[in-house]
Structure 1
Amino acid sequence: MVQHPHSSTAIPAHRPPSARRTGRLAALATTAVAVVGLTTLGGPAAHGADNPYERGPAPTEASIEASRGPYAVSQSAVSPLAVTGFGGGTIYYPTDTSDGTFGAVAVSPGYTGTQSSISWLGPRLASQGFVVFTIDTLTTLDQPDSRGRQLLAALDYLTKSSAVRGRIDGTRLGVMGHSMGGGGSLEAAKERPTLQAAIPLTPWNLDKTWPEISTPTLVFGADGDTIAPVATHAEPFYNTLPASLDRAYLELNGATHFTPNTSNTTIAKYSTAWLKRFIDNDTRYEQFLCPLPRPSLTIEEYRGNCPHTS
């Protein structure tokens, strides 16, 4: 290469050809190192270093809608005689520990329901990289405020006393619940602002306003719900959450109050995305939440905001 005569980097005329070749080789080596460094900084290892809570491969539409995620799942029954403050339940957890600890979620059934009514969520969410505790309540008639306290008691047991506590990051916790359990998830988020995510499923509660909540909250309603009609439950619950909060309202199309009691791809997909984004801080899942999902065969309506970036 011929250097411009006024360039400060021009090679002196008296420098021998071998020195010029050596200089070129050194420059190429330096450039190669720089390129490798930039590639490394932009690669998966660096992304993982930026977010140590990221778990599992990059998601796709197919992977997030699948009935099982990338993790094999084990489960453990918890007797009501072994715990206090709630009625026992079943813990579902990723079998492999090589990725480190996981976030955890406690899930409550609704009025007159038992853990069997929400048990499908256990393996489905756990296989995406969470420890999931589907619980029984002290009685099947417990009201939402009681169910909220029981969800928190279950999380405390999970992180402090359970056989899988070593697999859990106690700073990354969330709550879910159906019907009165959904109302209970709001109660739990109000009581414990350190929770990272709350997902009420066709929730029921006599308290209609939730301005105190600071936990990112995704509310599911059902267009055909006659037990907790969206106009008097899910919608006002969502509408009274702080406008500055990461929040969303998804109304299921062609659904009833009991739709969350059986395997449902739409519920699983958006619950997974919400938990991943806010418990794992995994921005790879924002693609499913922003732009806001549009009405479809399974979604009657979606309201909310794109997740805030920290």
Structure 2
Amino acid sequence: MRHASTRAAKRLGLLSGAAALAVSLSLLPQEAQAGPGDFQRGPDPTEQSITAERGPFATAQTTVDGPTFKSGTAYYPTDTSQGTFGAVVVSPGFVTPEALISWYGPRLASQGFVVLTLETNSGFDQPDDRATQMLNALDYLVRSSSVRTRIDPNRLAVMGHSMGGGGSLKASESRPSLKAAVPLMPWSNDKTWQTDRVPTMIIGAENDAIASPASHAEVFYNSLTAAPEKAYLELRGADHNVALGSNVTIAKYSIAWLKRFVDEDVRYEQFLCPAPTPNTQISEYRNTCPTG
């Protein structure tokens, strides 16, 4: 009888220990899927903050020479207190040097992104070549670059002008894990993007004689039938090169799109939904109107 009591006491002790262990483990930090707001960076946005030349983050920059692309400049927030940031690679277009897209670097980085403006291997590189270089640049940023510890490798995006815009569509089609794409006045001989599953905002220019919206941007937008969210913004009276200098409208909507889909930050939906009506800056806007 005494042995039975001892065994019962031992079992009771084991159960009590197990319960205590379970309670202790429940108090430890848990690895879990990110919840709403986990990737929010910076203060609540306003019209003034999203259109400002610089956002709330101080930035720095460093030259990047990658083994699978020519070179580039990485711009990044100096603040490390809010965790890691999403990363965006921006490609120039046909015979366009990195210098003409360099304004995107500090503009986007100051809103809470690591941004690489790319110098392509050749100014004559076609969209598919630019897509490969953009993806290689993203891989280099997160694996080998000096800013890799600042980047969340699961929150990456691409952006590009002209053939760089066509390249960003190809990069998205090739890598559906990307969180967002922003093609600017995109040019490509490929008009079919039905398998592209990346949230995409296409920005076109009303008077673009090189990549006319009717032959490029609008056609691309209509073909994005598998994209979970998409938008098309057309700049009133603008030509093909409007993206090669600081532009408030391009910056505002690019930032809102990247924030919404790279950072999953629903605070920026106010700039996307309801869709803006045509005005002195915008001749047309179409979208699927993302909601939280």
What range describes the TM-score normalised by the shorter chain of this pair?
Answer: 0.7 to 0.9
Q: Between the two proteins, what is the percent identity of the paired residues?
A: 59
Alignment of 1:231-270 (within 5 A): 231-242=214-225, 245-270=228-253
Find out whether 1:127 has 2:113 as its counterpart: no
Match of 1:294 among 259, 273, 277: 277
What TM-score results when the alignment is normalised by the length of structure 2?
A: 0.87
What is the RMSD computed on CA atoms of the aligned residues?
A: 1.1
Larger gyration radius, structure 1 or structure 2: 1
One-letter amino acid matched to 2:121:
L
What TM-score results when the alignment is normalised by the length of structure 1?
A: 0.82
What does residue 48 of structure 2 align with?
62
Match of 2:181 among 181, 193, 198: 198
Contact 1:182 1:203 survives alignment (8 Å): yes
Q: Per the alignment, do residues 195 and 243 of structure 1 end up closer, same or farther by CA in structure 2, a change over 3 Å counting?
A: closer
SS, match of residue 240 in structure 2: coil
Contact 2:192 2:220 survives alignment (8 Å): yes
What does residue 138 of structure 1 align with?
121
Q: Per the alignment, do residues 243 and 293 of structure 1 end up closer, same or farther by CA in structure 2, a change over 3 Å counting?
A: farther
Q: Distance in 2 between matches of 1:160 and 1:279?
A: 19
One-letter amino acid matched to 1:58:
D
Q: Give the drift of 1:308.
A: 4.6
Find out whether 1:75 has 2:61 as its counterpart: yes
What does residue 290 of structure 2 align with?
307
What does residue 19 of structure 2 align with?
none
Q: Distance in 2 between matches of 1:219 and 1:97?
A: 31
Contact 2:198 2:227 survives alignment (8 Å): no
Alignment of 1:163-182 (within 5 A): 163-182=146-165
Match of 1:103 among 62, 66, 86: 86
Structure 1: which 4+ aligned runs deviate by more than 4 Å?
none
Q: Give the drift of 1:244.
A: 5.8
Contact 1:246 1:308 survives alignment (8 Å): no
Q: Distance in 2 between matches of 1:89 and 1:119?
A: 9
Structure 1 residue runs of 5 or longer lacking an equivalent are 1-47
Q: Distance in 1 between matches of 2:274 and 2:211?
A: 28
> Deviation digits for residues 97-116 of structure 1, max 9, x if unmatched?
11110000000000001111
Match of 2:195 among 212, 215, 227: 212
Q: Per the alignment, do residues 195 and 49 of structure 1 end up closer, same or farther by CA in structure 2, a change over 3 Å counting?
A: closer
Q: Distance in 1 between matches of 2:227 and 2:86?
A: 24
Q: Distance in 1 between matches of 2:291 and 2:49?
A: 24
Aligned length: 259
What does residue 259 of structure 2 align with?
276
Structure 2 residue runs of 5 or longer lacking an equivalent are 1-33
Contact 2:158 2:181 survives alignment (8 Å): yes
